[in-house]
Amino acid sequence: MNTHLYEEIKSIEDVINEEKPKQVSNKLQTEDEYTKLKNKEDKILTLLDDIHSKKAEDMDSIKYFSSAPLHVIIFKTFKTILNLGKEIRSKDDPYQIVELILKKENIIYVGIALVIFSILLMFISV
């Protein structure tokens, strides 16, 4: 995803506000500026489409957790933690292990697993 929205907008402003150099043909200069603006507009539209699809994806995950039954969420949590354990055993670098744990698709399940683990510890200590 292109994250340089400010730079793209700034470059469009630069193209609009720049002094027009004397060229042989005024029509050629206008076409060049139009081409520059069209390219920048395409980049910005692509960026906005990416942002919109990202927001829609985030909303889908929120709807999933609010509508899924509890046993399905717990099952997926244990399944994800087991898969995460297998991947962690194959990694040697601590930074790679942290990256695995903090992946977007794993982070919610790691959080749920920590909550379940803390509840179990609470019951054991009582």
Region 96-125 average pLDDT: 88
Do residue 59 and residue 32 come from a single domain?
A: yes
Task: List the domain range (segments joined by +) for residue 94.
Answer: 68-126
Beta carbons within 10 angstroms of residue 11's beta carbon: 16
Q: Which of these, 61, 115, 110, 116, lies nearest to 88 by C-alpha position?
A: 110
Last residue of a domain, one of 67, 82, 109: 67
pLDDT of residue 96: 86
Last residue of a domain, one of 47, 67, 87: 67
Last residue of a domain, one of 67, 96, 118: 67
Do residue 8 and residue 48 come from a single domain?
A: yes
Q: How many structural domains does the chain have?
A: 2
Region 108-114 average pLDDT: 88
Do residue 1 and residue 46 come from a single domain?
A: yes
Please give the DSSP secondary-structure letter assigned to residue 94.
H
Regarding pTM above 0.75, the answer is no
Do residue 22 and residue 76 come from a single domain?
A: no
